[in-house]
Amino acid sequence: MRRIIVVPAVVAAALLSAAAAPPPGSSPYSPATRVICIDVGGQTRPVLCRAPASRLDGREDICLCPVGRRVMAPVCGPGERAQPETRAFERARRSASRDGSLVGDLYNGRPMCVAPRIR
């Protein structure tokens, strides 16, 4: 009787851990979003981020915007490039960032993503 209960529990745990694993080729330290600063015109401004002093852990802990609004933006995936900085794109980004996030927002059918952080 005990084997009947233990075996399904082990199988369920294995399936859940496989579903929670990151996709192959991705790193747990490469985040899917980054913080950017956007001013009132929609232009990006420099962001000040603090990261641990480690070559292994590249996550940014705290990011502040000395000028502009703090907005979460998706990181461009493999083969994707950030949109060119045109006046029309800046206006669209300004209006899309009013909720504090650009995740899921599109411009000309492409995501409003940002380049990954260079270490």
Q: pLDDT for 70-87, tens place per residue?
A: 999 999 988 889 999 999
In a domain, 100, yes or no: yes
Q: What integer is the mean pLDDT of 106-115?
A: 92
User: Which 3-state string (H, E, C) describes the chain?
Assistant: CHHHHHHHHHHHHHHHHHHHCCCCCCCCCCCCEEEEEECCCCCEECCEEECCCCCCCCCCCEEECCCCEEEEEEECCCCCCCCCCCHHHHHHHHHHHHHCECCCCEECCEECCECCCCC
In a domain, 54, yes or no: yes
In a domain, 50, yes or no: yes
Q: What's the total number of domains in the chain?
A: 1
* pLDDT of res. 75: 92
Domain hosting 77: range is: 24-111
